[in-house]
DNA sequence: AACACCACCTGTATCGGTTCAGTAAATACG
DNA sequence: CGTATTTACTGAACCGATACAGGTGGTGTT
């Protein structure tokens, strides 16, 4: 049991114990341990040795209480559990946030809520009870109440979403409009003239942005026909939307999906209907995850460094916590990754 | 801006402000707010009104410091981010834990680490710095160092895994051996005599348990042939393992997978090789998630209330934190959910 | 009227850190 | 050699809550 505390289980040492062992005052221990000037190198070494021997680390609560920063960051996600699990997006995103927080000794407080109102309650409670020093806000809707509520509280936050949605909060976003444009131009360049889109949840701000960008691109390229169907991002609804599209009399020759789950479901539906991908129909996914490479053919996708995105969000939040003004501007634009599910339409 | 604090942003009220506004002492506010006896109902009402008016909630740090419990629970997961995102398991599991913690005002501290050693470091730091009052440990390996290390620290924890793996820690687990037995008996009852298994990560304790149970069941039923191939749970390795199995001269007629991702990949491989599921080959998944219903045919699976499992784990941990002895015994046994990917073998 | 008793509340110590005004000793300077 | 400056440290105040001994006033009892 190499790591068992010398003091024995059950009793965690405090700064007082360390001070006693090192033969100095509490204040000296604090200075020594935090690398502050005011103690000799000899003393610092003795203190560190004593701390090591006792297995002491400063209590975060006590630190927080006496005014120091703690960098505990809150994230509340408002989507049903069952769907969250399937969206590879969030785990990678969280993982990216953490990678940055961990460097600074920070921590991520995670909470799954059912809607924006519950989230406001949670964030408010976190802030008031000083559990978090800042938060990351995701999934912005039109006229989202969170921005003004939380700004009113004074909660430092970074919003994930286009600035047009995030009501003045510092934000981080991917340039979805540009990516939709690229996707549509790619399909058009392959020769597609009838392109449909299976969108995400209609309430989400970025769904509207993508929808608008899709319209604009279709218009600009003079496509023969286009349409969007919104879903809740689930496989079930992705399948249903695809069925509707493919069963229509003048069916599209290409479909652009808003996430990978609906695209995978769409692929199954195409197979079920006896259509060959990409010969009869091209499919293009979004939020490229490993899921896109599990299917036959593999799904072409607009891919996206979600981990890096999370990391950048965390960096911007830390800047805010440091009292700075975070860099403004999109984090990245998803890039086209062609695989086997897209090809020129059969004449 | 209905919720903006009357005190204005930037200044969070403390118990002193509330006491002043209500015209009582700090002690009285504490008693009143926490529903303790010692204050008249009239005073309690005044205090609550004052707290509401100022938007005050007690600082968790201060509370923790003065001895009260906090119920912040730690969870460190040691798997690569890219795979975590794909395993629907974790998000649902986390969600289940949270649902229970939230009721008691608790919180979940999440950390993604790279291996057991890093996890030990994280848990130790969490415990020593009093950031968590207990932890959930997952993914036990053979001779896992965590049990003894963390028990040595005195960290209250609940281990997710069979007691044979978790070294005396209070634990919660699903009866995988029984479920594997059921799966094999089901396939045998359909008439399969050559059954293979695509397992998870070999280092994980439950993989060994399932492998042993698979052997035992195959033996007991007098199967003609059986074998296991281990993977890292990823789609890529699931595909490779399936390819190996299906390309063998005397190929199995049924394959049992250890998670849904490898099963989905296996399904693609079968299609790629021109084999029809379930006519030529039956596939049976594990950890049934929505993913299993996205494919054609839909995947039969050993399904599993992961959310409920997480909730039970949290309940047992809270029992430990309350100083009690949590219920021992498996939480549940995965149950067979037949869908379109299993059928009697072609003669 | 004297006393006990209770309900209600105040004041203070305490938790484990950080911070900072002092102080004492060591070094630099004229 | 006496005085200024620096260095190294101590001691106490403080952060925001909880806990508890003690004080105050009102009611009940004899």
CA B45 → C1' C9, Å? Answer: 15
CA A126 → C1' D14, Å? Answer: 24
pLDDT of the residue at A2: 41
pLDDT of the residue at A257: 97
* Mean per-residue pLDDT of chain B: 92
Alpha-carbon gap: A192 to the closest alpha carbon of chain B (Å): 27
Q: Which has the minimum average pLDDT: A292-296, B6-10, B343-347?
A: B6-10
CB contact under 8 A, A84 and B102: no
Structural tokens at position A118: 């519950």
Alpha-carbon gap: A58 to the closest alpha carbon of chain B (Å): 5
> Is the peptide bond prior to B143 cis by the omega test (within 30 degrees of 0)?
no
**In what helix (H) or strand (E) does residue A194 lie, and over which residues does it extend?**
strand A194-199
Pick B81's closest partner by Cβ from A92, A148, A152. A92
DSSP 8-state class, residue A293: G
H helices present in A191-279, as ranges: 205-220, 235-247, 260-272
d(C-alpha B205, C-alpha A231), whole Å: 40
Structural tokens at position B262: 């490898």
CB contact under 8 A, B59 and A129: yes
Q: With a CB-CB cutoff of 8 Å, which residues 23-52 of chain B face chain A?
A: none
In the sheet with A335-337, reading across from the earlier edge strand, the strands are A225-230, A194-199, A254-257, A282-286, A300-303, A335-337
Q: What is the pLDDT of residues B64-115, one digit of tens each?
A: 999 888 999 999 998 776 666 667 788 889 999 999 999 998 999 999 998 9
Say yes or no to pLDDT of B254 above 60: yes
pLDDT of the residue at A88: 78
Mean pLDDT, residues B36-54 taken together: 96
Q: Which nucleotide is nearest to B31 (CA to C1')?
A: D18
Q: With a CB-CB cutoff of 8 Å, which residues 247-266 of chain A face chain B?
A: 261, 264-265
pLDDT of the residue at B6: 46
Distances (CA, A) of B211 to A262, B200, B288, B289: 34, 10, 19, 22
> Could you read off the pLDDT tens digit of each residue along chain A, which spans 347 residues?
444 444 455 589 999 999 999 999 999 999 999 999 999 999 999 999 999 999 999 999 999 999 888 999 999 998 776 666 667 788 889 999 999 999 998 999 999 998 999 999 999 999 999 999 999 999 999 999 999 999 899 999 999 999 999 988 999 999 999 999 999 999 999 999 999 999 999 999 999 999 999 999 999 999 999 999 999 988 999 999 999 999 999 999 999 999 999 999 999 999 999 999 999 999 999 988 888 998 989 999 999 899 999 999 999 999 999 989 999 999 999 999 999 999 999 87
CB contact under 8 A, A294 and B154: no
CA A23 → C1' D11, Å? Answer: 15
pLDDT of the residue at A92: 87
What positions of strand C are covered by protein, i.e. any atom < 7 Å from a CB?
Answer: 7-21
Pick A95's closest partner by Cβ from B9, B87, B112. B112
Domains of chain A with bracketed CATH: 15-58 (1.10.260.40), 72-174+307-321 (3.40.50.2300), 176-303 (3.40.50.2300)
B134 vs A: CB within 8 A: no
Phi and psi at B174, nearest 5°, equal -100, 150
Q: Which of residues 62-101 of B touch strand D (CB under 7 A)?
A: 62-63, 65-68
d(C-alpha B98, C-alpha A77), whole Å: 12
pLDDT of the residue at B289: 85
Cα dihedral sign, B283-B289-B292-B295? negative
d(C-alpha A258, C-alpha A212), whole Å: 13
Alpha-carbon gap: B313 to the closest alpha carbon of chain A (Å): 17
- Percentage of residues in chain B with pLDDT exceeding 70? 95
A2 CB-contact burial (10 Å; exposed 0-12 / middle 13-18 / buried 19+): exposed
Chain A residues with beta carbon closer than 8 angstroms to that of B239: 294
Nearest one of A297, A288, A319 to A134, comparing CA atoms: A319
**In what helix (H) or strand (E) does residue A333 lie, and over which residues does it extend?**
none
């Amino acid at each position: 049991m190499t790591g068992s505390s010398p003091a024995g289980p059950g009793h965690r040492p405090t700064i007082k114990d360390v001070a006693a062992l090192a033969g100095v005052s509490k204040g000296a221990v604090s200075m020594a341990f935090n690398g502050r000037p005011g103690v000799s190198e000899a003393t610092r070494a003795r203190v560190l040795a004593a701390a090591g021997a006792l297995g002491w680390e400063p209590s975060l609560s006590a630190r927080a209480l006496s005014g120091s920063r703690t960098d505990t960051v809150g994230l509340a996600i408002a989507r049903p559990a069952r769907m969250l699990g399937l969206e590879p997006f969030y785990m990678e995103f969280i993982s990216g946030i953490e990678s940055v927080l961990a460097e600074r000794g920070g921590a991520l407080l995670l909470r799954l809520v059912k809607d924006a109102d519950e989230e406001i309650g949670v964030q408010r409670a976190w802030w008031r009870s000083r559990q978090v020093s800042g938060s990351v806000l995701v999934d912005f809707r039109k006229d989202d109440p969170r921005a003004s509520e939380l700004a009113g509280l004074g909660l430092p936050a970074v919003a994930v979403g286009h600035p047009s949605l995030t009501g003045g909060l510092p934000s981080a976003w991917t340039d979805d409009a540009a990516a939709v444009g690229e996707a549509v131009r790619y399909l058009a360049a392959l020769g597609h003239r009838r392109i449909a889109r299976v969108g995400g949840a209609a309430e989400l701000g970025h769904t509207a942005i993508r929808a608008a960008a899709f319209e604009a691109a279709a218009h600009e390229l003079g496509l023969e026909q286009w349409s969007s169907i919104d879903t809740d991002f689930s496989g079930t609804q992705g399948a249903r939307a695809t069925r509707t599209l493919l069963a229509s009399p003048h069916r599209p020759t290409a479909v652009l999906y808003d996430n990978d789950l609906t695209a995978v479901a769409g692929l199954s539906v195409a197979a079920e209907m006896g259509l060959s991908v990409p010969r009869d129909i091209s499919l293009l996914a979004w939020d490229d995850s490993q899921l896109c490479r599990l299917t036959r053919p593999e799904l072409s996708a607009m891919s996206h460094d979600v981990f890096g995105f999370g990391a950048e969000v965390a960096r911007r939040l830390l800047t805010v916590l440091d009292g700075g003004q975070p860099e403004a501007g999109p984090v990245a634009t998803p890039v086209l990754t062609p695989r086997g599910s897209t090809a020129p339409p059969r004449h």
